[in-house]
Amino acid sequence: MKTVSVVRFKISNQENVKKLPLVATIGLEYLFMITYRLGLDPTACSCFDYFDGSVIRCSGQEGPIMVEQMKKSHFEIRELTLENANIVEIGPRAFKNLRIKKLVLDKNRIKELHKDAFRGLENVLQELSIAQNKLTEVPTDALAGLRALNVLSLKCNRIGNLAEPIFQNLTSLIDVNLSCNEICGITSNAFDGVRATLQNLILDMNCMEKFPAGAVTNMESLIALHLKYNKIDEIEQHQLTNLSSLSMLSLSSNNISSIHPFALQNTPNLRYVYLAENQLHNFDVGTMAQFKQTQVLDLAFNMLSEITVETFAGLESLQHLNLESNNIKTVAPGAFAGIPLLLLWLPNNCLSTISPATFQGALFLRQLSLANNNIKDIEPLSFNHLANLHTIDLANNKIQSLQQGAIQGTDHLTVRLQENPMVCSQDGFHVMNGPQAINLTTEPNNICKTNWHDATPDVCPKVNMDRFWRLSQRPVAGSPFMRHQISSVLKPKYLITTAAPTWYNGLQEGEVRDEEDEDDGAEE
């Protein structure tokens, strides 16, 4: 089946573009002449002139024809994009005579790259993307010797396990994206060629069941490690060793049920840790102490049922803690004491009572969400000692009335109380802004359309439909994990959730491959 080309070519508005030297300007005029002489679609590519080279973006089968013509002249190209061109193979010296700094070959059908495919670009090419193609392995030979390459994306191909050193003589490579492939295992020497230089490694949306400890150990330049949407079941002793620059670790949406108290060794700069959507029930004593430099910790959508004094002991730098959508019923007095928390997220849990001891010692707390719990009682002076607190979300609980001084605080404290039974009473209100009670006439007051006077059984765990729709799209056991696009699986328009919005990126952190034609096999 042949794909019909739909491509664009336009000369940019000269008022918005810096003037090029004469040679480059003539180059773009030459491109325009090519399209006219060869009878190509005059909208084949979009072209822009900049002081450091042209930006040429082509989509469709006429893009490679343009490249063949450009090779007859010497072009300084800041970016060249060839998408949706049905390219199957990149032959030797495919970009001869072109000086390309950024090359994008996404959304083709590339299966093979000749070992000399990028010959001539060794000292020029800085960024290369071959995403959403059909590669079954990293094109090691073709990439070898690209000494100027900084950024490489091979996401959303069909690359399998990494069993040998895959990057050779790539002395400048700092950013690698291998997400959305079929990588279930990585040998300890796979990244040997870039172990000293790599700063950002993205392995999201693969099928790893074990943390690739040997592959990342001693990556002392690594700043960010992304492993979302895999099947990792635990973090074992010393699996994060000698990662002296590591600042961000993303392990959301795995099957992690335990973290060893000595998982980290010589990893002193870990600031951001994302562990949402796992199977964590509790932590061994001392587990959190190894994250003493962490400032942001995301534990949303796990199975924690209580917060003890030991749970977060040692988190002496923590500022943002997300515990949304766990099964938390109790918080021990002083559980957050000594932690410099600014933001604490606890919506969609199972708390029923708030007392002055609940947040005892959380002296720096500014924002607190307790939305959609089972809270009925708030004891007097529960928040009075939190001098920096300016926002409390208590929406969607079971509060019939407030005791005197229950939400007393500073004059700048705002408390949300929407969808509690109390809003249905004659003296009910929706928001407390300092000492002022505010009744919002625009609120739907759905709670008032129920038997709000009657006591209802507590629900725990809370049913969170956002989580339900996300997890229900995971592939069944045995299927290639995250092989196809799920972004098109939208939440039904009628679905309404009451949970406060999360402050972390969640699913937006990653991307997935576009669905490929079902008849690909027939074409081949």
Task: Output the tens digit of pLDDT for each of the chain's 524 residues.
Answer: 333 322 222 223 333 332 223 233 335 555 566 655 655 666 667 888 888 888 999 988 888 887 887 777 777 899 999 999 999 999 999 999 999 999 999 999 999 999 999 999 999 999 999 999 999 999 999 999 999 999 999 999 999 999 999 999 999 999 999 999 999 999 999 999 999 999 999 999 999 999 999 999 999 999 999 999 999 999 999 999 999 999 999 999 999 999 999 999 999 999 999 999 999 999 999 999 999 999 999 999 999 999 999 999 999 999 999 999 999 999 999 999 999 999 999 999 999 999 999 999 999 999 999 999 999 999 999 999 999 999 999 999 999 999 998 998 888 999 999 999 999 999 899 999 998 999 999 999 999 999 998 988 998 887 555 555 555 444 444 333 333 332 332 333 333 333 333 333 333 343 434 444 444 444 44
* Angle made by CA atoms 70, 72, 76, in degrees to the nearest 5: 55
Within 193-325, residue ranges assigned H as helices are 213-216
CA-CA-CA-CA torsion sign (11, 14, 17, 20): positive
Distance CA 350, CA 327 (A): 6
Helix pair angle (63-70, 22-38), 10° resolution: 130
Q: What are the sequence ranges of the domains in the chain?
A: 1-86
419 closest CA partner among 450, 389, 388, 391: 450
- Rounded-to-integer distance, Cα 460 and Cα 458, Å: 6
**Residue 165, φ and ψ in degrees, nearest 5:** -55, 125
Could you tell me the CA-to-CA distances from 502 to 99, 115, 249, 322 in Å, in that order?
45, 46, 18, 8
Compute the distance between CA of residue 260 and CA of residue 227 in angstroms, rounded to an integer. 18
Alpha-carbon distance of 486 to 101, in angstroms, equals 32
Quick count: other Cβ atoms within 10 Å of Cβ 73? 14
> Which residues neighbour 260 within 8 Å (Cβ) at sequence distance 6 or greater?
234, 235, 236, 237, 239, 284, 287
User: Please, what sign has the CA dihedral across residues 283, 287, 289, 292?
Assistant: negative
- Residue ranges of alpha helices (H) inside 399-499 are 465-471
How far apart are alpha carbons 308 and 523 in whole angstroms? Answer: 60
258: left (phi over 0), alpha (psi -120 to 50) or beta: beta
Report CA 444 to chain centroid distance, whole Å. 34
Query: Looking at residue 386, what is its pLDDT?
Result: 95
The CA distance from 219 to 185, in Å, is: 18
Find where tokens 């810096």 sit. 18
Nearest Cα to Cα of residue 318 among 386, 279, 272, 287: 272
Per-residue confidence (pLDDT) for residue 30, from 0 to 100: 59
Q: Beta strand 431-433 with 343-345: parallel, antiparallel or unpaired?
A: unpaired
Q: Which two tokens stand for residue 53?
A: 């080279």
Query: Which parts of 125-209 are beta strand (E)?
Result: 127-129, 151-153, 175-177, 200-202
The residues, any chain, with a CB within 8 Å of residue 22's CB and separated by 6 or more, are none
pLDDT of the residue at 38: 59
| pLDDT of the residue at 324 | 96
The tokens for 400 are 């019939």
Residues 415, 401: Cα–Cα separation, whole Å: 14
* CB 364 within 8 Å of CB 388: yes
Distance (Å, whole) CA 200 – CA 175: 5
Q: What is the pLDDT of residue 387?
A: 94
- Do the bridges between strand 89-90 and strand 98-104 make them parallel or antiparallel, or are there none, so unpaired? unpaired
Asked whether 230 and 206 are in contact (CB, 8 A), the reply is: yes
Phi, psi of 40, deg, nearest 5 = -80, 160
Parallel, antiparallel, or unpaired for β 127-129 and 151-153?
parallel
**Counting runs of H as helices and runs of E as strands, what totals does the chain give?**
6, 30
The conformation of residue 12, written as its DSSP 8-state character, comes to P
Question: How many Å is the Cα radius of gyration of the chain?
Answer: 28
Neighbours of 364 (CB within 10 A): 15
Here the tokens at position 287 are 């587990």
What residues have CB less than 8 Å from 258, skipping those under 6 apart? Answer: 234, 235, 280, 284
DSSP element (H, E) containing 64: helix 63-70
CA distance 367 to 269: 25
Give the pair of three-digit tokens for residue 276: 């949402």
Q: Which residues contact 450 (CB under 8 A, 6 or more apart)?
A: none
The candidate with the shortest Cα–Cα distance to 358, out of 377, 327, 504, is 377
Question: Residue 12, exposed/middle/buried by CB under 10 A (0-12, 13-18, 19+)?
Answer: middle
pLDDT of residue 39: 57
